[in-house]
Structure 1
Amino acid sequence: MQQQQLLKIANEYGSPLYVYNAQKIESQYKRLTNAFDKVKKLKVNYAAKALTNVSILKFINSLGAGLDTVSIQEVKLGLHAGFKANDIIFTPNGVSLTEIEEVAKLGVQINIDNLAILEQFGSKHPKIPVCIRINPHVMAGGNTNISVGHIDSKFGISIHQIPHILRIVENTKMKINGVHMHTGSDILDIDVFLYASEILFNTAKHFDNLEFIDFGSGFKVPYKEGDIETNIEEFGKKLTTRFKTFCKNYGKELTLAFEPGKFLVSESGYFLTKVNSIKQTTSTVFAQVDTGFNHLIRPMLYGSRHEIENISNPKGNQRFYSVVGYICETDTFANNRRINEITEGDILAFKNAGAYCFNMSSNYNSRYRPAEVLWYNNKAHLIRKRETFEDLLKNQIEISF
């Protein structure tokens, strides 16, 4: 999107504000499907946890994607947005057997990553097909919080516990129709991914009636100019060749599945915020903005870098600024970053704000959560209203003293 378009949207809808570019989401979806266009059966399940606005879900559904979910609430949002139950996979972690059973009643594909839960579910519901999430014990991901395939991870059933899985399947007579892995996010080296894929293939050989193999996701997107990203096209060629060989040896054409979240929506998003004041100290110039980690927590939580542009002064001379929020504790978006000269009232645009940004926002400090806008067909569409004081009181029950 052009800076002038973003500035116009900010002037119309106020700040702070999330803006998503539908065209970018679509181009990322097509890029992934084109990379695997030689696969006969491909299923792209959007990881809803990245961004669950219902209008975004409806748009992604219109592209032909399925949905990857981690809670019964995400499942219900997906159904509300128009996804068919058989196009949704439920991949929770640490939830109760009751929640899994409730989701199963909705007709959604179940994915289990716990031996105890697998045995309980298989004993009670042997006729309901189940996918198994394995932990390949491969360390991959850009941050320890988002690297989930290593040996100490709480996610997945260890590859060393495959004999236990086979015993449970034998005893319960349950049907295993898929195997799945997810090693982490921000994976740079496709060879690491391909190595983990071999572990998944070896796991798949133990099951005779598979319908799909789910390779997770975790593709790295660029966060700054010249940044390294996952080479999806090269990865597509290499994994396609290996997948076809596996299917031939397996004796059946399986579905190759992925569950991209950040890859589809991250680059589509912009977070717009207004500068409240400029504060000069003995060593630092602070640009203080009308938001905080209550709206965008990733820099503080993950140390993530978001490019920041002053769209109000795109041709100004660059100076060094630390961009900080209004939360009453350390609340830093960027330290000593080169940005075009900033003055009070300017609008700053944070890039790569489509994934795990609004969805991780809160009302900390009793601040309202932002509005959301979708740029679609060259027009801005409001897809979430800004919260009001009444929203803070909603669901609270006041008692008299």
Structure 2
Amino acid sequence: MQLKENQYYIGNVPVLDICREFGTPVYVYDGNTIVEKLHILQEAFSGVPVKIKYAAKALTNISVLKLLKKEGAGLDTVSIQESRIGLMAGFAPEDIMYTPNCVSFDEIEEAVELGLGINLDNIPMLEHLGKKYGSTVPCAIRLNPHIVAGGNTKIQVGHKYSKFGISVEQMPQVMEVVHKYKLTINGLHIHTGSDIKEADVFLQTASILFDLAMQFPHLKFINFGGGFKVPYKPGDHTTNMKELGRKLSDAFLGFCKRYGKTLEMWFEPGKFLVSEAGYLLVQTNVVKQTPTTVFVGVNSGMNHLIRPMMYDAYHDIVNVSNPDGAPKEYNVVGYICETDTIGANRTLDEVREGDILAIKNAGAYGFSMSSNYNSRLRPAEVLVYQGQAKLIRRREVLDDLLKNQVEANF
């Protein structure tokens, strides 16, 4: 989002024009930023055979998926529904890696029938796969490296107490199942968490993967996960993609020599691709002065963006309709009947009733984690791409809340 001639723009479209056309609250995604982020990753690892599998759970709108497919991305999905949306967006089944957690075997069977890549993170489902398909269905294995990495503890998923992945200490049991059913293991995968800044974390997981990979002769790829750090505040440290690309590519090529053939290097970024591209635009309902603070109450809340309350996530907030206002301190809160703080103790250009605020970094895990709590309606979604703002999801209406309810007769 840029401020030019006293007006804010998203992808060369004035923010206030977007609000006038589509209303508020509204999610807006800058398609050019999404494409730029994908190209940064592709270029950072251009020295190796790299595949970028977008983690669809971050933002599953079909128009965004189509844009990423057009630019050469594959897809990483965690549910059969995400997978089917990916197929509808035009992804070939073989370009979708299905990585479920704690699902029934029925869902895995459905993924096999669809022709998706299969990536399993527990021994019981590996056993089920072997019993039913033997060596006829290749699969990858997600491992838990017992590494603590990432930001908030709720998004650290590679430590030994995490529900994700098969513990590296359980490799003897894994190999027993693999040999028993003659399973074809075509990939190994580790994802340690989100908001990882240091290249050394990826190198540490790479070292573990490389050693374990020598036990599997039929590998086609090594998946290093995602979790790259994105900036939330001015001056925030981020993952140095050039440094990571250089160091990890060198290590990977060295491993491939030891392994005896060149494999593919995979990543599954979600937040890195779409977080900075997204904005939640909201309107100020009330400016409420109390003896202790000044609250700015807006027409949105944790039902639309749960990350601040769930993860203590920081989202920068800008008053886009009063850029010349005198700076003042506010608590920006939502309209949900809960403690519903979007941003505490924020210095904003003076906020008046009716002003439009832009909540940044709302592209990842914003709409995709939204709900109808308090029977509130979910907002519209708009994609700005190549100078045009296009509606990609209509705003909900009351009928959407009622359409699946069945009235009982009393």
Match for residue 21 of structure 2 among 12, 16, 22: 12
Q: Percent identity?
A: 57
Q: Give the number of aligned pairs.
A: 400
SS of the residue aligned with 1:142? Answer: coil
Match for residue 56 of structure 2 among 48, 58, 61: 48
Match for residue 155 of structure 1 among 127, 141, 164: 164
SS of the residue aligned with 1:267? Answer: coil
SS of the residue aligned with 2:345? Answer: strand
Aligned residue number for residue 102 of structure 1: 110
Match for residue 119 of structure 1 among 115, 127, 148: 127
Unaligned runs of 5+ in 1: none
Aligned residue number for residue 226 of structure 2: 217
SS of the residue aligned with 1:242? Answer: helix
Q: Does 1:376 align with 2:385?
A: yes
Match for residue 320 of structure 1 among 314, 317, 329: 329
Aligned residue number for residue 261 of structure 1: 270
TM-score (norm 2): 0.97
Aligned partner letter, 1:286? F
* CA distance in structure 2 between the partners assigned to 1:207 and 1:381 by the alignment: 47
State the 1:21 CA deviation. Answer: 0.3
Aligned residue number for residue 275 of structure 1: 284
Match for residue 290 of structure 1 among 280, 284, 299: 299
State the 1:174 CA deviation. Answer: 1.0
Aligned positions of 1:123-272 closer than 5 A? 123-126=131-134, 127-272=136-281
SS of the residue aligned with 2:108? Answer: helix
Q: Does 1:68 align with 2:94?
A: no
1:12-60 Cα distance to aligned partner (Å, 9 max, x none): 1110000000000000000001000111x21100000000001001111
Q: Does 1:399 align with 2:408?
A: yes
Q: Does 1:59 align with 2:90?
A: no
* CA distance in structure 1 between the partners assigned to 2:77 and 2:61 by the alignment: 14
2:319–2:355 CA contact under 8 A, matched in 1: yes
State the 1:339 CA deviation. Answer: 0.6
2:149–2:192 CA contact under 8 A, matched in 1: yes
2:202–2:248 CA contact under 8 A, matched in 1: no
* CA distance in structure 1 between the partners assigned to 2:355 and 2:267 by the alignment: 40
SS of the residue aligned with 1:164? Answer: helix
State the 1:248 CA deviation. Answer: 1.0
* CA distance in structure 1 between the partners assigned to 2:291 and 2:95 by the alignment: 57
* CA distance in structure 2 between the partners assigned to 1:46 and 1:108 by the alignment: 15
Q: Does 1:34 align with 2:53?
A: no
Unaligned runs of 5+ in 2: 3-7
What RMSD in Å do the two structures reach over aligned CA positions?
0.7
TM-score (norm 1): 0.99
SS of the residue aligned with 1:140? Answer: coil
1:324-376 Cα distance to aligned partner (Å, 9 max, x none): 00111100011111011000000000010000000000000111000000001
* CA distance in structure 2 between the partners assigned to 1:98 and 1:173 by the alignment: 22
State the 1:10 CA deviation. Answer: 0.9
1:108-155 Cα distance to aligned partner (Å, 9 max, x none): 000001011101111211210010000000001101111000000000
